[in-house]
Amino acid sequence: MVLPGVAFFVLFKIIPGLGSVIAFQDFNIFKGIFRSDWVGLDNFRALLSYSEFPRIFRNSLTIGLLKIIFTFPAPVILALLLNELRPGAFKKLSQTALYLPHFLSWVVVSQLFINILSPQGGAVNSVIAFFGGKEIFFMAQEKWFRPIFIISSVWKESGYESIIYLAALAAIPTEQYESAAIDGVGRVQQLLHITLPALLPTIVVVFLLRTGNFLEVGFDQIWTLANPLVWSVADVFDTYVYRVGVLGGAYSMSTAVSMFKSAISLTFLMGGNYVAKKATGRGLF
């Protein structure tokens, strides 16, 4: 019964994982993985001397960190706000609306942002023009790419990610709040002394998972949101691997990029876990 499942994990997870060894080869598609020449660390050396590499490295780190800084707190805040509401039509409407974008593809969401920000009939530029401002071609300017990337991330996922915090909030006994209220403790004080401490374990776990894959900035999102005009600030490890590896055929080289990326991710996961353990006594492992 378990065989098809195990076969799947071996074929599509383990074998591709082991296939990473081509990073140490001069992989040739006709010779295959067993007869290609071994070249040691040559690919990594070539990579580091590559003029494009610092840019991709910088973009990946910057976008990854910005994404954590801005998309991590947003769902916590949303959950805290939603938690203040009594059940009712308004709560239902806002939850329904806020969860929806998660289920749309990045093709759709990116195009939604492109259309709204467009100088040809986009609502944002219409409003700017209404107030007498000058039209801005947002998608064509490097300085706007990262803000748009972050805003679209927050827009798409914050609502859905708030569910996990709402679940944790629902588990806090209401008696704690009631007795605090009877003692005259205001809602803000309740937030600081009851709600946030109760939410901390969930926040730590989610934060650690996020630091572990903070370089998974999202191929779909970048690929659909960026265009050649802003490529210099948008190109990250994943998009680079796709362009150079899949489209360009530089298999070994781009696998070296992936390994480099995994090494950084692992470092951050361990580091984040260490810091979380020191600070809160809780970690993933």
Partner 1 sequence: MAAGKIGRANSAFFKSYGKFGATPVEVGIVYLLLAASTAAVLLPFLHEIAKSFSHPNDVEAGRVLLFPLRPTLGNYRYFLQPEFNALPRAFVNNLFITAFGTLWSVFFTALTAFPVSRPRKEFPAGKGVMALVIFSIVFAPPMIPYFLAVRSYGLIDSWWSLFLPHTVLPFNMTLVVSYYRGLPEELFEACRIDGGGDLRMAFNIAMPLSKPILATVGIYTAVVFWNMFLHPLLFIRSQDLMPLQVFVRSILADAADMAGQDASLNLFSNSQSSKSALVMLTTAPIVLVYPFMQRHFIKGSLSGALKS
Site for partner 1 in 62-81 (CB under 8 A): 78, 81
Least distance CB 236 / partner 1 (angstroms): 12
- Report, in angstroms and rounded to the nearest whole number, the Rg of the chain calculated over CA atoms: 23
Interface with partner 1 by CB under 8 A: which range of 19-27, 43-51, 57-65, 275-283? 19-27
Distance CA 147, CA 187 (A): 33
Q: Which residues make beta-bridge pairs with 26? A: 37
Which amino acid does the sequence have at 249?
G
Of 64, 75, 122, 272, the one binding partner 1 by CB under 8 A:
122
CB atoms within 10 A of CB 45: 12
Of 146, 202, 282, 283, the one binding partner 1 by CB under 8 A:
202
Window 216-245: residues binding partner 1 (CB under 8 A): 216, 219-220, 223-224, 227, 238, 241-242, 245
Of 58, 187, 232, 280, the one binding partner 1 by CB under 8 A:
187
Distance CA 259, CA 18 (A): 11
Q: Cα–Cα–Cα angle for 147, 211, 73, nearest 5°? A: 55
Contact (Cβ atoms closer than 8 angstroms) between residue 53 and residue 230 = no
Q: Which CB atom, from 214 or from 251, has the smaller least distance to partner 1?
A: 251
Distance CA 190, CA 108 (A): 40
Indicate whether 175 belongs to the interface with partner 1 (CB under 8 A).
no
Of 8, 37, 48, 52, the one binding partner 1 by CB under 8 A:
8
Least distance CB 188 / partner 1 (angstroms): 7
Q: What are the C-alpha distances in Å from 197 to residues 123, 169, 180, 276, 278?
A: 41, 11, 15, 15, 16
Of 48, 107, 196, 279, the one binding partner 1 by CB under 8 A:
107
Q: Which CB atom, from 168 or from 234, has the smaller least distance to partner 1?
A: 168
Least distance CB 197 / partner 1 (angstroms): 17
Distance CA 269, CA 213 (A): 8
Indicate whether 100 belongs to the interface with partner 1 (CB under 8 A).
yes
Q: Which CB atom, from 59 or from 158, has the smaller least distance to partner 1?
A: 158
Indicate whether 200 belongs to the interface with partner 1 (CB under 8 A).
no
Least distance CB 151 / partner 1 (angstroms): 10
Window 129-168: residues binding partner 1 (CB under 8 A): 129, 155, 159-160, 163-164, 167-168
Of 121, 131, 134, 278, the one binding partner 1 by CB under 8 A:
121
Of 41, 90, 142, 279, the one binding partner 1 by CB under 8 A:
90
Least distance CB 67 / partner 1 (angstroms): 17
Least distance CB 61 / partner 1 (angstroms): 18
**Which of 117, 146, 102, 101 lies closest to 236, judged by CA?**
146
Indicate whether 89 belongs to the interface with partner 1 (CB under 8 A).
no
DSSP assignment string, 7-56: HHHIIIIIHHHHGGGGGGEE--TTTHHHHSEE-TTHHHHHHHT-TTHHHH
Determine the distance from the C-alpha atom of residue 282 to the mean position of all C-alpha atoms in its chain, rounded to a whole number: 23
